[in-house]
């Protein structure tokens, strides 16, 4: 099988054609997809009429699954979470973030499939955190290299519970089970060896080595910096579209422009390693 990888921007994102994720896919094809992911960071597959089992099987090739502590699981597949949204402005995905950075071992990446879409809207944007780091001045890189930051579950968890997107019984018990994690502000990707910026709006609360007021200013700058359009790709979903992304070197943002309409997505997330 020959697959066609078509870049969508010079910085991030490519559409993969000529592959049927219903599988089974042989190892050379999967390795080709994996290498394309490391080059383009997020891959888009159109017209993939696959079952939840087939989505899980495709994701399994990349590693063990992450079982999210407060997202709602699929009723028949524990490895899969269901994102069922009609009020996206309250759901927490409408800010730039890296999934589960509050964990000691944040997510490797995810496979997301469109199940039901609004008539218009509901796009998702991804941003390249290699590019975000590379665009910093040398003096700012010197300040950040070796610094660490706290990533906390509390605010996103409270929002998920308030708007019915979490099955947890107690915010306090979940918070106690998942205390704030401390990660490098600049991490190194374990496969590519490249440095990338690793702070995000949903979970990062402060830079540990700076005074509180200094942290507020520097972190605020970084969270604005990652929003630059030249770091981004924007994807308009279509029925049965599937996206695979590397969560370690990207952030994403779900555009909340379909309030009152339903958007249902199935997500399988893969377990990552401790950031270094």
The residue ranking higher by pLDDT, 225 or 69, is 225
Query: What average pLDDT score do residues 136-152 get?
Result: 97
Condensed to tens digits (0 to 9), the pLDDT of residues 235-266 reads 999 999 999 999 999 999 999 999 999 999 99
Which residue is associated with the tokens 């099988």? 1
Condensed to tens digits (0 to 9), the pLDDT of residues 79-95 reads 999 999 998 987 767 89
Point out the catalytic residue in the list 99, 151, 183, 189. Answer: 99
Point out the catalytic residue in the list 97, 151, 189, 206. Answer: 97
The domains of the chain, with CATH numbers, are 4-270 (3.60.130.10)
For residue 172, report the phi and psi dihedrals to the nearest 5 degrees.
-65, -45
Is 0.85 surpassed by the pTM of this model? Answer: yes
Q: Which residues of 126-135 are buried (b: 16+ CB within 10 A; e: fewer)?
A: bbbbbbbbee
DSSP state of 102: T
Q: Is the pLDDT of residue 157 over 90?
A: no
Q: Is the pLDDT of residue 165 over 60?
A: no
Q: Beta strand 124-128 with 232-235: parallel, antiparallel or unpaired?
A: antiparallel
Condensed to tens digits (0 to 9), the pLDDT of residues 169-190 reads 567 777 777 789 999 999 999 9
Q: Report how far apart, in Å, the C-alpha atoms of 275 and of each of 101, 248, 252, 272 are.
A: 9, 8, 18, 9
* 99 tagged catalytic: yes
Q: Is the pLDDT of residue 1 over 70?
A: no
* 97 tagged catalytic: yes
What percentage of the chain has pLDDT greater than the value 70? 93
| Alpha carbon distance, N-terminus to C-terminus of the chain | 36
Point out the catalytic residue in the list 40, 113, 248, 252. Answer: 252
Beta-carbon count within 10 A of 19 CB: 21
* 252 tagged catalytic: yes
* 230 tagged catalytic: no
Is residue 98 within 8 A of residue 246, CB to CB? The reply is no
């Amino acid at each position: 099988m020959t697959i066609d990888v078509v870049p969508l921007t010079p910085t991030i994102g490519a559409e993969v054609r000529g592959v049927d994720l219903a599988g089974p896919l042989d190892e050379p094809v999967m390795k080709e997809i994996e290498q394309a992911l490391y080059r383009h960071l997020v891959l888009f597959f159109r017209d993939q009429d696959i079952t939840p089992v087939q989505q899980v099987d495709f994701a399994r090739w990349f590693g063990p699954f992450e079982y999210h502590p407060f997202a709602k699981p699929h009723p028949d597949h524990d490895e899969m979470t269901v994102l069922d949204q009609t009020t996206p402005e309250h759901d927490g995905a409408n800010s730039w973030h890296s999934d589960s950075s509050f964990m000691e071992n944040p997510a490797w990446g995810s496979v997301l499939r469109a199940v039901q879409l609004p008539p218009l809207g509901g796009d998702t944007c991804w941003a390249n955190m290699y590019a975000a780091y590379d665009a910093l001045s040398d003096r700012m890189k010197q300040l950040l290299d070796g610094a660490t930051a706290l990533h906390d579950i509390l605010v996103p968890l409270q929002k998920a519970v308030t708007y019915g997107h979490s099955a947890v019984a107690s915010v306090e018990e979940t918070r106690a089970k998942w205390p704030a994690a401390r990660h490098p502000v600049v991490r190194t990707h374990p496969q590519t060896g490249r440095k990338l910026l690793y702070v995000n709006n949903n979970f990062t609360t402060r830079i540990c080595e700076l005074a509180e007021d200094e942290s507020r200013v520097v972190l605020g700058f970084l969270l604005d910096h990652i929003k630059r359009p030249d770091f981004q790709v924007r994807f308009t979903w279509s029925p049965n579209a599937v996206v695979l992304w590397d969560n370690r070197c990207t952030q994403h943002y779900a555009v909340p422009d379909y309030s009152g309409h339903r958007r249902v997505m199935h997500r399988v997330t893969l377990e990552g390693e401790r950031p270094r």
